[in-house]
Amino acid sequence: MKIALLKHLTSIFVCYAIIGVSSTLFAANTTPPGEWRVKQGEISSSALWDIHFVSEKKGWAVGASGIILHTSDGGLNWRAQHRKRGERFFGIHFIDEKMGWATSWSGNIYHTKNAGTTWERQIGPLRVWFWDIFFTNKNNGWVVGAQGAVIRTTDGGKTWKEKTVAQYRKGPYLEVFFLNENLGWISGWTGKILHTKDGGETWKAQDSGTKLALESIFFVDENHGWAVGREGVIRYTKNGGKTWQAQESNFAKSILFKVQFETPTRGWIAGGSGVFLKTKNGGETWESVEVPTDETMEGLSFFGKDHGWAVGWGGFIIHTSDGGENWEAQNFGFNDRLFRVHFFDEKHGWIAGEAGTIMNTKDGGETWDYQDSGTAEWLFGLSFISPKEGWVAGARGAILHTVDGGESWKQLDKMTEASFENIYFFNKKIGWVVGESGLIFKTIDGGKKWRLQFSEVTNTLTDVIFLDENNGWVIGGGGTLLYTQNGGQGWIDFALPFNDTFAKIFFDGPKQGWIVGGKGTIIKTIDGGKHWALQRSNTRESLWDIVVQDGEGWVVGDLGTLLYTKNGGTSWHAIESGSVQRTTGIFFPTKNKGFAVGKGGLILEYNRSASK
């Protein structure tokens, strides 16, 4: 039997190569009849370096992984508008609710005319890190950056030209600020401050009185200004910068990254290691304020006297509504990585994650409650055969079992210290678990006893699924695809031409199945696995999970990747998820409602009735 099956599999590989080419045809764009929204968690854990609000409701934040975040409700909800792996945005500036610009470390400038719905790249004349950007109106703007870079535009960024400030071209300029179309300042390395009175036609140096790098500069009127930077330095002027004098921060070991004033007396400073300062007397004294983070704050934006936001390392966003007296987190606090989501029916669902995290809903995902798993191991897979009975598997050989919907969990006897990546139960008695080193175990008594099945591979196995008690599939690292016709007594390696890890296998009926994995891999079978064909995903991001029902399907992956098809994958299209987190699990309990989970405690919810 094994020899005959091996001969059959040889023909599978040949057919695979042919079918894989023909199925990469691309179809027209498709939009799903619904919308994804962030239910819980962080939409980004990448560092955020700048933030800008144009009203109490509308603002943008930028940072690592080429992310641009936007809120239209004062930060209650944030959505990712843009992402680009390898890019870093350091500065952002809007002149109104529609027009804005962002600067990057690659010497690129990005511009939007529609509040960030779309961003177009503008090419700068220098390939250096651009640290900051400022526009005085829709045409006139300035960018500063590394190697003394100062560039300007007079046509909204269609063209950018370098402004030579030769005698001062040493080290980076870190921030540019204009009070109006004529009066502007630049701060930078070794205490440098430049000033213009003619809209940037000419720049003259001002003596700041320090050699420390000045990270930020701000003027509240033509006379009163502040500059802050390394070693807690604060410099103050009351004559437009003709002379600068010191103010005491009492944080000599901290870097102060951002300063902003609302009046000549009322101002704020954000800095490293959770340092936040405020003053009500123009800086004669600075008071330390407790904020809900000890991370470095890189960006600060106040709109009016009450509402302010700060961003920084780790992707946090904090907000004040009382002028900086008290702060609350808007975009962090969920540290758990969530790996898998599974529903038994439209009401009962569970999520598995790191550090023993298990979450449960009994109302279709409206609310999620943490359950006591009794373990601190990372939990990667889960399988339920009723609203009451289910199993979870994870690191260091952990397998948990519940018969009361997760109100209590019992840890089953360990078979190995190797990690289990996923678990699947066909019914209340028969199940399989797979994991590191090619391990496959089977139970026929609900998990009381497990028997090792020999896979003859050593790669980590990531997922397992059975169509009936005999026919099943296992996938894993290095493009591993195993098949059994006898409940796992013997496993046959398909030896597909892939080296990347397969992450998830899914079947919609006995014939149609899909596998997703590294570098945007999606492959499909339409004959129960006899032949597999490559589908074009149009992404190189790692893909972690897939769900398909009656031709309509979804795939999730790194950097918030969300793909959609309505034709079984003949064409896949990128959909905005509103997140840039690694998203590793997706499940649709009904055709109209779905959930996806990922890093930073992320839970996304799809509602078909929320049509765009």
> Model confidence at 168, in pLDDT bands (50, 70, 90)?
low
Strand segments (E) across 41-128: 48-53, 59-63, 68-71, 79-82, 89-94, 100-104, 108-112, 120-123
H helices of 219-357, in order, are none
Phi, psi torsion values for 449, nearest 5 degrees: -130, 145
Please list the residues that pair with 562 across neighbouring strands: 556
Query: What is the tens place of the pLDDT at every residue in 345-367?
Result: 999 999 999 999 999 999 999 99
Phi-psi region of 489 (alpha: psi -120 to 50; beta: other; left: phi over 0): alpha
Q: How far apart are CA 487 and CA 116, in angstroms?
A: 53
In this prediction, residue 336 carries a pLDDT of 74
pTM of the predicted model, to two decimals?
0.72
Please list the residues that pair with 297 across neighbouring strands: 312
Pairing of strands 68-71, 79-82: antiparallel
Look up tokens 């996806």; give the residue: 596
> Model confidence at 26, in pLDDT bands (50, 70, 90)?
very low
Q: How far apart are CA 158 and CA 146, in angstroms?
A: 22
Share of the chain above pLDDT 70, in %: 93
What domains lie within the chain, and their CATH numbers?
2-34+335-607 (2.130.10.10), 89-329 (2.130.10.10)
What number is the average pLDDT over the span 577-599? 95
- Residue-level length of the chain: 612
pLDDT at 225 over 70: yes
In this prediction, residue 9 carries a pLDDT of 41
CA 498 remoteness from chain centre? 27
> Model confidence at 166, in pLDDT bands (50, 70, 90)?
low
pLDDT at 82 over 50: yes
In this prediction, residue 464 carries a pLDDT of 99
CB count within 10 Å of CB 156 equals 18
Q: How far apart are CA 69 and CA 330, in angstroms?
A: 13
Average pLDDT, the chain: 92
Query: What is the tens place of the pLDDT at every residue in 468-523?
Result: 999 999 999 999 999 999 999 999 998 888 889 999 999 999 999 999 999 999 99
